[in-house]
Structures are given as structure tokens and as C-alpha cells.
Amino acid sequence: MRSAVLQCHPLRESYNEALLDHTLAGLRAGGSDPDLFRLAEAPGPTGSDLDGVELVAFVHPIWWGGHPAPLLGWVQTQLGPWIDGDAAMASSPLHTVRQLLSVCSHGSSRLINRLQGAPARKLMDRTVVDLCTPNAGHQWTALYKLDRLEPSDLDEFLEIVEADARRLAEGLTSAVGAS
């Protein structure tokens, strides 16, 4: 089962890097060999890079309620014709994707994020997932109040991330094996 991870953070010495490591470990444990794209360092995958991918994971912080600019830029340039234009959905770069996973960290609380309207989650739930296969799923795995948590809380969340990534990959891998 092919998967891709789109990570977006300007610093490699950050908690986001640990989130990335645990996402990759979970996907590998679930039977996938993910392709990694670092959006803060390069433009990101094109449609042909994602051809045949069944799971796409996004690993990034939420800043001021939204996605980092490089991730929004990728969505605009690579998915824009299917979101805002009249491109045929069958030709979407995500047309083979059956599962999206968002692994995010928030400085604010869940309540503050909801009061802001949760724009990052809504973009994924209401727009990006629609470019995937019919009935594609989206798992939102988010850590809130990042700067106010204890190290043990951060470690616990890393285990949750790895378990979620593994479970999703195993689900797709076993579905492929059953076909």
C-alpha cells in the first residue's frame, strides 16, 4: 500500500519532527513504505508523485487557527483546479487516496480552536477529502495547548500518533490483501 507524508515545519529540531518520526514509524509498522515530502524545503508532490497513493498524511502545526503557508500553497497549486475550477474529479491528484491523516499541534486549546471555527480541519474535512475516492476517510489527530503540556503528555501523544498511523495503514493494507 502506497502512502505519502507531507510535512510542513521550518525547523528540524522541533516537536513536529518527533510527530513526523512517529507518523512514519506507524505507517511502516502498518505495512506501508511512505514517501516523504517536506513542504518547507521543496514545492511538494505533483499529481504524478501521488498516483496510486492510498493514504496521505499531513504533519504540521496549526498557526493562528490555520495551516502553514507552504501547505496552503501546495493545496492551492496542486489541488486548486479541482477545488475552484472545473477539472474532472476523476483526474484529481488524490483520486486513488482512500484515507487522509492529519497530525497537528496547536498552541491554543480545543475550545479556542473551535471558537475560531477550526478552519484547518474544515479545509480537510469539507474540501480535500472530497478530492479522494468516494467514502474516503479523514482522521484528525491533534494535540492542543502544546506549550502548556508536560513532557509526559507530549510523549503520550507521540504514541497516539504512531498507533493511529499504524491502524490506518493496517486497515488499508488488509483491505488490499482481501481483494
Number of neighbouring beta carbons within 10 Å of residue 84: 10
Residue 74 has pLDDT above 60, yes or no: yes
Mean pLDDT, residues 62-78: 94
- The partner residues of 105 in beta bridges, in order of sequence, read 61, 143
Dihedrals phi, psi of 140, to nearest 5 degrees: -105, 105
pLDDT given for residue 141 in this prediction: 98
pLDDT given for residue 173 in this prediction: 85
The reported pTM is: 0.95
Dihedrals phi, psi of 52, to nearest 5 degrees: 90, -5
Mean pLDDT, residues 112-133: 94
Give the span between the Cα atoms of 44 and 40, in whole angstroms. 9
Tell me, what CATH number does 21's domain have? Answer: 3.40.50.360
In the block, which residue shows the cell 492542543? 144
| DSSP class of 129 | G
> In which band, very low, low, confident or very high, does the pLDDT at 177 lie, cut at 50, 70 and 90?
low
Number of domains the chain contains? 1
Domain of residue 81 covers 3-178
Residue 96 has pLDDT above 60, yes or no: yes
Instruction: Please list, in sequence order, all residues whose beta carbon lies within 8 angstroms of the beta carbon of residue 24, skipping any fewer than 6 positions away.
Output: 5, 34, 36, 165
Residue type, 46: T
pLDDT given for residue 176 in this prediction: 59
| DSSP class of 145 | S
Give the span between the Cα atoms of 126 and 156, in whole angstroms. 29
Burial class (CB in 10 A: 0-12, 13-18, 19+), 131: buried
